[in-house]
Every structure is written in structure tokens, then in C-alpha cells.
A and B are shown apart, each in its own frame.
Chain A
Amino acid sequence: MKRPYLLLRHRDIPDLNDLTVYRQHGGFEAFRKAVTTMQPQEVVEIVKASGLRGRGGAGFPTGLKWSFIDQKNWPHYVVANADESEPGTFKDREIMEGNPFQFLEGLMIAAYAVQANVAYVYVRGEFWHLAHQLDRRIQQLHNAGFLGDRLFGTDYSLRIYTHLGAGAYICGEETALLESLEGKLGQPRLRPPFPPAVGLFGKPTIVNNVETLANVPLIIEHGAEWYRSFGTEKSPGVKIFCLSGRVNRPGNYELPLGTTFRELIFEHGKGIPDGKQIKAIMAAGASSALIVADDRALDTPMDYESVPALGAQLGSASVIVIDETVSMDWLIRKTVHFFQHESCGKCTPCREGTYWMKHLVDRIHHGEASQNDVELLYDVASQMRGKCLCALGEFSIEAVLSAIERFPQDFAARVAQQEPAL
């Protein structure tokens, strides 16, 4: 029998994005339970015990992050990161469209856990339509008595507001996001201090990804032990894997952490179109190192510990499939153009480095380069490592370095060919 969905529950339950239907299926009971029967600290402890790790990319333990909130500086804020802009990632969008109340309930429980009375949802500008839907749903929650003052007769109050971004990948980085929410350019802050100490408007702030928050009501309802029955010991729970690229059935797949690449790509994704061979995998969207898709890689469990053994990261679990027809010089040209476009320009290594990488990948791709240029590209990328102010700069070199290291033949062929590719 198929396991029922935990996050993509709208696939099992029609109209779950309707408040009445969501409540018929136990909606907002976890929030009520937390606010009326649990101390904030207890909520933090349960989430800690569940082992839930952030789904936005870094995999940081959620309960631990909540426990870092500075209790001496008030007010506190919680901000949901709905910027979802990593190429190959489209899970938060499905949650917010199909199961928005579970996400909002998770946000509300997080707010109670750190005693924030105001929470924001930072929604990427392209999700304009979704932000307006969320606004209407937040209003419904007010009308139903789940948001507002003195909830359930306690002295806890909570309000939620959406804030629309306007097209900038860097605003997914949590400190750039906070700057943007303050009405400034979306450029990352120097850290420390981290947001739980100094965040939005200079106040202690928790930033969590949409999918992370959607797990929280389940943990409060069923307990930490139950949650740990899914996934692996160090990466508990289920994860939404976004499958894209050269695969027959792209889409979102909710699976336990620790599922293998092979199961995702061949069983759920139904393999590679036109009988082609798989060549490489990117596990964390455009920010990934390229994994050579051999048997060992395909049999690797997708969790936060196992993927690094392949010289890559799980990140947001945005799995892009590359087949044998794709040449890596073409591929890194796409990723480098992306990062060059999205670099916020605040620090020199990233601003200049992505600019030079772009110049070089263009030359190589246009058949105007020699092997020296490939080596120069490798050098420029290596020199950026460890010198960038935020992870965007570091992400930008992952595909470049791994492509040159693991697929040298593609570059040798392009250089030898000396003629433009398609």
C-alpha cells in the first residue's frame, strides 16, 4: 500500500487548500494544542527531538536554531522563506498552492515557540498570485479566530503578513532576505551576528523554509518518535525531491530521506527519454557539484550525510538529471551565466570571479579557446573558494570545478573541435 502523503497531502485529500476541509482533517489542532497546553520551550524541545533539519538547503537542525533566539532582546520575529529561486526547485510553490494551511500552521507554531507576535512570509515576486492567495487565507484565519489577539483565550497574539520580493535569487539567502524585507537592496549581511541574535529590524529572528515549517504541525500532533520513524537516523523525516531535466516524469516526489537516486530517477521518474544513458546528476540545483552517474552514485541514499561522500551536497534536493547528449561546457555556461546575473555585487571575489568565469565559458563554448583557457577557468574558480561573503559565490564554482575535474573529455573535445556548438 502506498504511504499517505505527509506534506503533499493535497494529493490525497481534494480541496485541502480550503480552510473548512483543512480543519475537517485536523487542521489547526496542533496549533491550538501548542498554544493552550504547551510551554514555548516544550515546543522547541519536541522539534529538537524530532531531528527535523532545515529544508532550505543548509540542513541545519530546526529546533536547535529556535533555541538560539535571544531571550533578552524583544520583540522576536519569524520569517518564512518563500523565495524559492534555486534552478530546479519547485516544491514550496506546490505546498503553498495545494496545502497552504499546513505551512501557515507550521509558521504559527514556530512563532509561538519563540514568542513572536508578528511573522512575515517573504514570497518571491514571481509568485505574485500566490501571495495574494495567502493574503486571503490569512484573513480567513483572522475571521476564524486562529490569528489576532488573545488566541484561544490565552494572552498570546499573532499576526502574519506577506511581503513580495521583486526578482533576485540572492534574496533567498536569509540575511539578504531580511535586508530586502527592510526595504533595502537584497545584499547579505556580515555574520556573526546571526539572525536569532540580530535579525529583522535589528531584533532576534528565526528564518525557516516553507517545507521545513510544513513539517512542524505533524511533529506536534504525532510526536518526535513518530517523526523519526521516517528517513534515516541523522536525516529523519520525509523530503520533497524536485526532479527535473532529462527524465520522463519530472515533478515533485515526497519520499523518506535516504531514498536512493536510482529509485527517484528510474522508478518514480521513469528513467531517461529516448533510451539515452544518464550521464550526471545535480542534487542541489544549479548550486551543485556534478555527480558522475555511475552505479555507486545511483545507489547512494539521498540524505545529508551520504551525498557529501560523492563530493556533492543534498542542499534543497533539487535533482537535475543530465543525459549523455549534454556536453559539460554547455552546462556550466548555463550555471555560470545564472550566478553572474544573480551575484549581488557586494564582495569582489564573487562579483569579479563570476564575471571572468562568464567570459571564459563563453570563449570555450564558442570554440575560441585553448586548453589553457580551461585551466584558467579552473584557476579562477579555485581562487574564489573560501573568499566570498556568502554562499552564492561558493555555489557558483561547484559545477565549474567538478565538471572540469570529472568530465575533462568534454572540454578536450570542445577545445579540439574549435567550432561553435549549437
Chain B
Amino acid sequence: MNHLLEKYATEIETTLAKYPPDQKRAAAMPLLYLAQREYGYVTKQALREISEILDVPPTEIGQLVGFYTLYYDEPGGKYRLQVCTDLPCALRGAEEFLEQLCENLGIQVGETTPDGLITVEKVMCLAGCDRAPLFQVQTAEGITYHENQSVESAMKLIRTWQSNP
């Protein structure tokens, strides 16, 4: 039985229709996003299911998860808060911002808060360098941008998550 295929038959069909019929493999990336939406991260079961749908060995699908930074093979916080500290942002105080944010949350970069709510990560340029400090928030549902941030504004956002987990 293939849970993804059964639950999302129409969506998977629409995705496959974007590519030529003999190039099903091209749907691997959209299907990995679908799997993360369903399971929170790319589970072993998801790899097997995608592999079946596309007729590509599961190890090759697994390699994609390792290669692309927005796919995860283990669970993280419900909110992945990803601060850009690349050069242009670092010139505008992004490293200090990240440090203070971590202090406020009582965790180190890469760690998850004890309640499992937030994982803080640092990432490369997000194409918002003129609005630093900024971060993106990745959840199973998608990605949102938060720009021109201060530690106060970020903590305010975080408190809305905490009060409504």
C-alpha cells in the first residue's frame, strides 16, 4: 500500500502532468515536498513510496534529501527559524542578531528548543540582503520570510507560536 499515492492521488497526477510522460523522475523534488508536508520530514516510508511512484531506486531519492538543504531526513522543531548570516547580511549585524536570538531562546545554533517547537539554523543568502537582519521560517506547510527584524520583533513572533503551539 502506498499512503502518499492513496491520499494525494489527484495532486500527484497534476504534478506528474507537468513533465513529459517518459520523464517521471522530474517529479522527485515536488514529491519530496509533499512527503515533508505529510510526515514532517522525509521518512524511510516516504522514500519507498516516492520510489514506487516514480520507478526510481529509493537510494537515489535519498541522495536528493542529502544534497538539497530544504529536505530533512530527521524530525526538527515545528518551526525551523533560519537566519541569514551571509556576507551582505553580516555587514548589517546579522551575526549579532543570531547570537542574541539564541541567547533569548537558551539554545545554540542548530539546536531545538526543549518543547520541540523551534529549531534555529543559519543559512546562506535568501535574496533579501537589503532588509537584514532577516530569517525565513520553514514549516511542513511552506516557507515565509520575516525581514527588517530585531530581536524584539522576532521574540514577539515566537511568543505567538508558543501561546498557540
Q: Are A286 and B18 in contact, CB atoms less than 8 angstroms apart?
A: no
Known contacts being A129-B142, A164-B33, A167-B69, is A326 close to B128, with CB within 8 Å?
Answer: no
- Which has the most chain A C-beta neighbours within 10 Å: B18, B25, B71, B86? B86
Closest partner residue, chain A, to B85 (CB atom): A334
A-B contact count (CB 8 A): 133
A136, B111: Cα distance in complex, Å: 36
Asked if B70 CB lies within 8 Å of chain A CBs, one says yes
Q: Are A245 and B91 in contact, CB atoms less than 8 angstroms apart?
A: yes
Q: Are B29 and A183 in contact, CB atoms less than 8 angstroms apart?
A: yes
Closest partner residue, chain B, to A83 (CB atom): B127
Q: Within 8 Å CB of A402, what residues of B?
A: none
**How many Å from the CB of A293 to the closest CB on chain B?**
14
Q: Are A84 and B127 in contact, CB atoms less than 8 angstroms apart?
A: yes
Chain B residues 111-135 with CB under 8 Å of chain A are 123-130
Known contacts being A166-B29, A183-B26, is A87 close to B69, with CB within 8 Å?
Answer: no
Closest partner residue, chain A, to B60 (CB atom): A184
Chain A contact surface mostly: mixed
A201, B126: Cα distance in complex, Å: 29
**Chain A residues in the interface with B (C-beta under 8 A):** 84-90, 92-93, 124-129, 132, 161, 163-169, 180-186, 201, 242-246, 250-252, 286, 320-322, 326, 331, 334-335, 338, 341-342, 344
Closest 4 CB pairs of A and B: A167-B69, A166-B68, A183-B28, A250-B130
Known pairs A166-B29, A246-B92, A334-B86; list 20 more (Cβ under 8 Å): A85-B127, A87-B124, A88-B87, A125-B70, A127-B127, A161-B18, A161-B19, A165-B68, A168-B68, A180-B29, A183-B28, A183-B29, A185-B64, A186-B68, A244-B129, A250-B92, A286-B86, A320-B87, A320-B88, A321-B91
**Chain B residues in the interface with A (C-beta under 8 A):** 18-20, 23, 25-30, 32-33, 54, 56, 63-64, 67-71, 86-88, 90-92, 123-130, 136, 142-145
